[in-house]
Structure 1
């Protein structure tokens, strides 16, 4: 913690989480309209997945940049300015995407502008909370994201049934504007930035990057996070399409498929909060390991559930989402635990490149596996979806090994202090 003794004002965390909820709605807006855009724009599964991958490439880049900028100029400034730019980019995507190429470019741009509501937010949480309750606070913040993902899919499901799927995109983008406005009130209630220590020199970016790469506990946790993101981003990108495809061709059932995907995200809010709180009591590595192994089992089993009744498949999707998200906040908390505050932004930047780099590839690889499976086994085949969902599990298999390494190195680091 910083040496600043002035505490944050009441309500700062609620406002921060509300801002995050609204700004995160654009993240799943495309996955909610993916089956409809795929038909209207005559795209293959790989092309449809590449649009989501473009988001993750842009998001990864922005997370790296804003982490560096936040260390230099302060997370408060970057959080506010970046939120405004992100809202404008989200509106541009909703208004002007017309085909595969324009959607890929504009959604990639929206992702490129979206990182300011995440990495600086994590730094602000670390600055305004004590370690004993930091996991719960991180869980609430990540859970707010899941709530936004669920609300976005619910909006898309409603408008795809009543009006047109593009109107759902516009509503989701409009919510990012409201979220950007809420950042003003959230920042006013937070602990003031810590003044620089007299006589201390600012650490250069390259030096901080080198120190982070040499930090073995931090990098072990970052690698575990990368494998986690491979699985999670594929799940988020393709779950609505999977439920829509399983539901049949009737428009009402397709809308129900997206709504059930929203419900799965809503259930995962509990996973984020429970996982973060459990890590405060049971330890970061233990919670990460339990959640990772359980979600891996779901990745390899989920494709085989293709022919289940829709209500039962949706229940399994909710469990899958809950397990996959349960440790997301724990990775952030664990990194804040082991990295010095003055280079936490750089450490989050390195983690973001690794995690969202993996997450950028996995939706595209999932689409390639689905295309291959449909050619090999036929359209609507269970085996095609088994191949696709197995690609999510295969890319995350090394996660448990990295978690075990993080646990061992962290214990050695703490013993040496």
Structure 2
């Protein structure tokens, strides 16, 4: 942080509360993925419904985010209160799921409701954190994406608390965590940069496609999202299948999935710092190159010993999320200030809509080819992202990124 950023009174406490609230509330997101192995044991759940337990959350999030943007909800209700409302609604959706048929249509609908509620949590938390930015926007956005990452990993850790696999445990524990988050966020202050957002501008959305630099940033983001959530959604079942083949226990599968996803939180913080100092395009190019390579290698490594597989998975967990915050930060630096909110909303909606398709498609693909080639198609996204960010790096607009560092 710059000296002026450090001197803002109340900033460390506010950011701590915001980040912790995000971690706890966003544990709702992957409760279904963490519960999936036990859900499969509890009933006959086909590949489409297995994937839908996660992709429904993504779809609900897109609908919730767009609804919030079009109605200006984030400016009608105080952000701390709106965050708390979203966290409580997400918790109630999870508690409702406990009463429903495991893997049934009603449970899938409840996951969509939870996703819509989380649209009042993640973007609002990002807005609160960004209000404290003073020359450290890349780091602050990285902090919140790191919180998203750690929250996404928590349900796998909740599984470790049970003596036997039980699909109810990640649902119940993440609901309790979200309720705690609803209380904590009410204690967090907004920063001096907290102001009402400009109304959603439909005409501004065309700028995302007409402006070459913005178009390349969005293409890079879509390449990143092509891979990210499909990997997070299926790494739990993959880890369980790997340890079953290797003679390990389900707990080792949950521990592996938690370590892989949670490791990305550290990468978000480090990448945020490095991007502010070395350039956004450089960091995204490195992260996309590493994660895409891992996507190609992980499947063929399925038969190899843990001392080879686990480090590869951790490297993938680090690289697959490291660059995420930088695509949003790039929009804020390239877009006209009055249109930044609309363009960020559009970027988020496009990215998460793509994840709905990729989570479902990956589940079907796994059913066809098995685990040895399960993740190979995910490398297509990073390849497209690398091309887009390399093109952006060569354009004059790159001088507007990261204080002229590109």
Same fold (TM > 0.5): yes
Q: How does 1:68-107 map to 2 (within 5 A)?
A: 68=70, 69=72, 73=76, 76=79, 78-107=82-111
Count, aligned residues: 393
The answer (yes or no) to whether the contact 1:228–1:399 under 8 Å persists in 2 is yes
Structure 1 partner of 2:192: 191
Of residues 116, 141, 146, the one that matches 2:144 is 141
Cα distance change of structure 1 residues 147 and 212 upon mapping to structure 2, 3 Å threshold? same
- Asked if structure 2 preserves the Cα contact closer than 8 Å seen for 1:67 and 1:120, the reply is no
Distance, in Å, in 2 between the alignment partners of 1:280 and 1:70 is: 31
Compute the displacement of 1:231 (Å). 0.4
Matches within 5 A, 1:14-413: 14-68=16-70, 69=72, 73=76, 76=79, 78-130=82-134, 132-159=135-162, 161-162=163-164, 164-186=166-188, 188-191=189-192, 193-194=194-195, 205-248=201-244, 253-310=249-306, 312-373=308-369, 384-409=370-395, 411=397
CA deviations on 1:67-122 (whole Å, 9 max, x unpaired) are 44257547726434433333332332344353331222111221122112222222
Contact 2:222 2:381 in 1 (8 A): no
What is the distance in 2 between the residues matched to 1:63 and 1:203? 14
Contact kept, 8 Å, 1:85 with 1:113, in 2: the verdict is yes
Tell me the distance in 1 between the aligned counterparts of 2:157 and 2:284.
29
Query: Does the 8 Å contact 2:61/2:115 carry over to 1?
Result: yes
RMSD: 2.7
Query: Does the CA contact (< 8 Å) of 1:66 and 1:78 recur in 2?
Result: no
Partner-residue secondary structure (3-state), 2:290: helix
Measured after TM superposition, the shift of residue 219 of structure 1 is: 2.9
User: Do the aligned partners of residues 275 and 250 (structure 1) sit closer, same or farther apart at CA in structure 2, a change above 3 Å counting?
Assistant: closer
Distance 1:97 1:332, change over 3 A: farther
Residues in 2 aligned to 1:342 and 1:9: alpha-carbon distance in whole angstroms: 28
Q: Distance in 2 between matches of 1:91 and 1:50?
A: 18
State the SS of the aligned residue for 2:83: helix
Given that 1:158 and 1:255 are in contact with CA atoms closer than 8 Å, whether structure 2 keeps it comes out as no
Secondary structure at the counterpart of residue 29 of structure 2: helix
Q: Check the 8 A contact 2:98/2:172 in 1, yes or no.
A: yes
In 1, Cα distance between the equivalents of 2:355 and 2:270?
23
Q: Distance in 1 between matches of 2:367 and 2:172?
A: 30
Contact 1:46 1:371 survives alignment (8 Å): no
Structure 2 residues not aligned, in runs of 5+: 1-6
Contact 1:64 1:352 in 2 (8 A): no
Tell me if structure 2 keeps the 8 A contact 1:123–1:344. Answer: no
Q: Shift of residue 178 of structure 1?
A: 1.1
Q: CA deviation at 1:345?
A: 2.5
Question: Is 1:9–2:13 an aligned residue pair?
Answer: no
d(CA) in 2 for partners of 1:192, 1:257: 43
What is the TM-score when the length of structure 1 is the normalising length? 0.86
State the alpha-carbon separation in 2 of the partners of residues 385 and 331 from structure 1: 30
Report the equivalent of 2:3: none
What is the CA-CA distance between 1:195 and the residue it aligns to? 7.4
CA distance in 2 between counterparts of 1:219 and 1:82 reads 31
Distance 1:191 1:81 in 2: 23
